[in-house]
């Protein structure tokens, strides 16, 4: 559909600095980390609430698709303007204000997670949601997909820290869900309805976030294991001791090999390529001391080797293992299906065995890492897009992965959302009645279907579309 006339009218009203139609601007906004491009008709950089209201009112009248964008770190195509139209870019809405008395952060949707964390820590507070791309990803995007990260097992995910939201309905009407108070029970809880809705129900422009006291002490331990099932069994044994690490990151042996290749260092001498678990304790000094003793006994009993950090600098060296693995995976293939599935703890060992079988059956490299404290594992199916047999194998592998995850009682996404990439599998997770209910909510709040259309409910097969050859700064995360 040609939206040129509506775009020109909006440009005349708001000005060419707000409504950008140059090809370079449109190209930049055409793609997110899914790396499938769809060219929008315009990119809009609103200066104020009034600008946002005018954009949405005009889009609603003209049925112009609107895709809200922060930094474009979405891995599922949530920020890709699949129907063209207008991209509403909010990355400049990056204000962060800490209320040190109430323990809250008042932030714009474009504020990066790292900027919120740094501002909170400067005031003695802690914002736990911790995606690997936190240096780049925005609070608005985290709210859109209910992002979590490595702290999720102990501290929870984005939803657990959102006190209030403000923004706009598709009509351009401003709304606020909740207040800057720690209790609120006045009307329907539409705040939580917007969280995880991937920008399909409303436009978040501001958020009030809960903070918690900054942990006084931290301690980091890296442990290696003979096999992946051994690592999973050991972590289950640790949780049975009622120890709750702030972080419990798992890397299978293929991910470790990637990290070793990237850094040029062996993680543990004499044990190259073994799976590892990286743990971090956080809390009061006495609590950390007590749990540290438990972890050292556990590591000696279950692991084949372990190494503790004596300083924060040494902890950073251990973290390099985790941070280096993802980017190095492209030595195994020039494309990957990055699936952020969730597995119930009781099924950890069964899932490890399934993955090994999937590697043999597909003939593909499938390095896997993730957050064992909450079961959110990142399964990376690597393939070469120019090899048809590998594309077919990857397609079969991801379908089998999703069926197996649901059969085990898990989830097809823990924090990336559905977007475009997971649309073929939504029916595995939800019954027809549940999907009809979701669509009814969408139709009620966005009856003209302008917000992020083409996502979630209509099947889109990402493996059939050409990926753009681009590397983002956060691809290593």
Q: Look at 136-140, 328-332, 438-442 and tell me which has the smallest mean pLDDT.
A: 328-332
Domain 217-329 has CATH 3.30.70.2190: yes
Residue 259 banded pLDDT, cuts 50, 70, 90: confident
- pLDDT tens for each residue of 187-235: 999 999 999 999 999 999 999 999 999 999 999 999 999 999 999 999 9
- For 325-345, how does the pLDDT look when each residue is reduced to its tens digit (9 = 90+)? 777 788 898 888 999 999 999
Q: Where in the chain is CATH 3.30.70.2740?
A: 332-445
pLDDT of residue 330: 84
Each residue of 99-121: pLDDT tens digit? Answer: 999 999 999 999 999 999 999 99
Largest CA distance in the chain: 70
| Protein fold of 4-89 | 3.30.43
- For CATH 3.30.43.10, the residue range(s) in the chain are 4-89
**Over 70: is that where the pLDDT of 250 sits?**
yes
Start and end residues for every CATH 3.30.70.2190 domain found in the chain: 217-329
DSSP strands (E only) in 70-186: 86-89, 96-99, 104-108, 125-126, 162-168, 174-177
Mean pLDDT of the chain: 94
For residue 361, what pLDDT is reported?
97
96-213: CATH class:
alpha beta
Band of residue 293 on the pLDDT scale cut at 50, 70, 90: very high
- Candidate CATH numbers 3.20.20.150, 3.30.70.2740, 3.40.50.300, 3.40.50.2020; the one for domain 332-445: 3.30.70.2740
For residue 96, what are the contacts with CB-CB under 8 A and spacing of at least 6?
Answer: 105, 106, 107, 108, 111, 115, 116, 119
Q: Specify whether the CB–CB gap between 79 and 37 falls below 8 A.
A: no
**pLDDT over 60 (residue 477):** no
> Number of helices (H) and strands (E), helices first, in the chain?
15, 18
Q: What is the pTM of this model?
A: 0.93
DSSP 3-state assignment of 203?
A: strand
For 265-286, the pLDDT digits (tens) are 888 887 777 999 999 999 999 9
Residue 52 burial by CB count (10 A; 0-12/13-18/19+): exposed, middle or buried? Answer: buried
**Residue range(s) of every CATH 3.30.465.10 domain in the chain:** 96-213
The span from the CA of 382 to the CA of 390, in Å, is 9
pLDDT value of residue 325: 79
N-term to C-term CA, the chain: 37
Residues with Cβ within 8 Å of residue 463, at least 6 apart in sequence: 337, 391, 394, 395, 398
Q: Which of 124-128, 287-291, 308-312, 452-456 has the lowest mean pLDDT?
A: 308-312
pLDDT digits (tens, 9 = 90+) for 147-194: 998 899 999 999 999 999 999 999 999 999 999 999 999 999 999 999
Angle, CA of 222, 224 and 230, to the nearest 5°:
125
């Amino acid at each position: 559909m040609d939206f040129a006339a509506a775009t020109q009218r909006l440009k005349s009203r708001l000005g060419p600095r707000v409504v950008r139609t140059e090809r370079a601007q449109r190209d930049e906004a055409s793609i997110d980390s899914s790396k499938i491009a769809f060219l929008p008709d315009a990119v809009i950089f609103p200066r104020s609430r009034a600008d946002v209201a005018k954009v949405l009112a005009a889009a609603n009248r003209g049925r112009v698709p609107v895709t809200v964008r922060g930094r474009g770190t979405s891995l599922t195509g949530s920020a890709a303007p699949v129907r063209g139209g207008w991209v509403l870019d909010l990355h400049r809405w990056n204000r962060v204000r800490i209320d040190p008395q109430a323990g809250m952060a008042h932030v714009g949707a474009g504020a990066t997670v790292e900027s919120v964390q740094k501002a909170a820590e400067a005031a003695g507070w802690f914002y736990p949601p911790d995606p690997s791309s936190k240096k780049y990803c925005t609070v608005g995007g985290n709210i859109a997909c209910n992002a979590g990260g490595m702290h999720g097992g102990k501290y929870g995910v984005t939803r657990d820290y959102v006190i209030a939201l403000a923004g706009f309905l598709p009509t351009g009407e401003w709304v606020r869900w909740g207040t800057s108070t720690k209790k609120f029970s006045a009307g329907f809880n539409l705040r939580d309805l917007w969280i995880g809705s991937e920008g399909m129900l409303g436009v978040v422009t501001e958020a009030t976030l809960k903070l918690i006291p900054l942990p006084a002490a931290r301690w980091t331990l890296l442990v290696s294991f003979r096999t992946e099932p051994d690592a999973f069994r050991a972590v289950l044994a640790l949780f049975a001791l009622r120890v709750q690490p702030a972080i419990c990151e798992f890397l299978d042996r293929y991910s470790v090999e990637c990290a070793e290749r990237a850094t040029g260092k062996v993680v543990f001498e004499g044990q190259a390529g073994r799976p590892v678990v990286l743990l971090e304790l956080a809390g009061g000094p006495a609590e950390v001391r007590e749990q540290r003793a438990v972890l050292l006994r556990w590591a000696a009993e279950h692991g084949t080797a372990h190494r503790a950090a004596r300083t924060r600098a040494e902890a950073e060296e251990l973290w390099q293992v985790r941070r280096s693995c993802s980017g190095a995976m492209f030595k195994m293939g020039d494309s990957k299906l990055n699936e952020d599935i969730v597995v119930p703890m009781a099924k950890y060992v069964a899932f490890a065995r399934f993955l090994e079988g999937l590697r043999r059956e597909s003939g593909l490299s499938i390095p896997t890492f993730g957050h064992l404290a909450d079961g959110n594992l990142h399964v990376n199916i690597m393939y070469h897009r120019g090899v048809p047999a590998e594309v077919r194998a990857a397609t079969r592998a991801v379908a089998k992965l999703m069926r197996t995850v649901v059969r085990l009682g898990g989830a097809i996404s823990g924090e990336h959302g559905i977007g475009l990439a997971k649309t073929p599998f939504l029916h595995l997770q939800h019954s027809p009645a549940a999907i009809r209910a979701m669509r009814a909510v969408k139709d009620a709040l966005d009856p003209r279907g302008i917000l992020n259309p083409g996502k979630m409910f209509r099947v889109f097969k990402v493996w059939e579309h050409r990926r753009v050859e681009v590397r983002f700064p956060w691809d290593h995360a």
